[in-house]
A and B are shown apart, each in its own frame.
Chain A
Amino acid sequence: AQSVTQLGSHVSVSEGALVLLRCNYSSSVPPYLFWYVQYPNQGLQLLLKYTTGATLVKGINGFEAEFKKSETSFHLTKPSAHMSDAAEYFCAGRFTGANSKLTFGKGITLSVRP
């Protein structure tokens, strides 16, 4: 079955530390992949996306992600965490034949300690 997996539900880092949020997909054909951020009581905001081409994708707010087909992964990173990065992060995939339907992971809550 086509799916997106985000292991763990909560990540806590210190301000200024590296942020690493993991995402893996399950599919014989790699999907288009997306990372969204959700702040409390708000909708989803697109951070970045991988469709084709360069496997290292840069997004907003200093985030980037690397698509690795051999590892079926699309992990999100940020070199230096800021307090304002505290939010819920969702990885999503658009699989072949799904038109624009997105399949989401369960999400990861990022906390940033001062």
Chain B
Amino acid sequence: DAGVTQSPTHLIKTRGQQVTLRCSPKSGHDTVSWYQQALGQGPQFIFQYYEEEERQRGNFPDRFSGHQFPNYSSELNVNALLLGDSALYLCASSLWEGVYNEQFFGPGTRLTVL
């Protein structure tokens, strides 16, 4: 049973560029959440997708957008990159109707903005 997978593992971009990160949820899961983990900090919730719609959003600017596909996989897009966007981006999957909605995390994508 494959867990949550993310690609790429690492990414280096320059300020002003755009980036797309990808996530495939754990088999059987239908909900994907994205988190940003800055160095030395706990993960911060960006947004959550279910049935191809954004269901919840954290305190992140509109430069951060996402998409969920019919197969439940998801993308996180960040436009006009800033130095402060450098972080580990974590994807987590869960069941929308799950009793405790337990989230399973992927290994993350390390984004470096120069």
Which residue in chain A gives the minimum CB-CB distance to B99? A51
Query: Assuming A43-B90, A44-B90, is B102 touching A101 (CB within 8 A)?
Result: no
Annotate A1-42 by CB proximity to B: 1 below 8 A, 0 otherwise.
000001001000000000000000000000010001000011
State whether A90 touches B42 (Cβ < 8 A). yes
Assembled-state Cα–Cα distance A41/B96 (Å): 28
State whether A104 touches B44 (Cβ < 8 A). yes
Q: How many residues of A contact B (CB 8 A)?
A: 25
Segment of B12-20, B64-72, B73-81, B105-113 engaged in the interface with chain A: B105-113
Residues of B within 8 A of A101 (CB): 33, 45, 48, 56, 58
Q: Interface of chain A, helix or strand or loop or mixed?
A: loop
- List residues of B (17-58) whose CB comes within 8 Å of A's CBs: 31, 33, 35, 40-45, 48, 55-56, 58
Distance in angstroms from A44 CB to nearest chain B CB is: 4
The verdict on A49 contacting chain B, using a C-beta distance below 8 Å, is yes
Q: Give me the interface of A with B, judged by CB distance under 8 Å.
A: 6, 9, 32, 36, 41-46, 49, 51, 90, 92, 94, 98-107
Besides A43-B4, A100-B103, A107-B40, 17 other CB < 8 A contacts? A43-B107, A44-B43, A90-B42, A98-B56, A99-B101, A100-B31, A100-B102, A101-B33, A101-B48, A101-B56, A101-B58, A102-B33, A102-B35, A102-B43, A103-B45, A104-B43, A105-B42
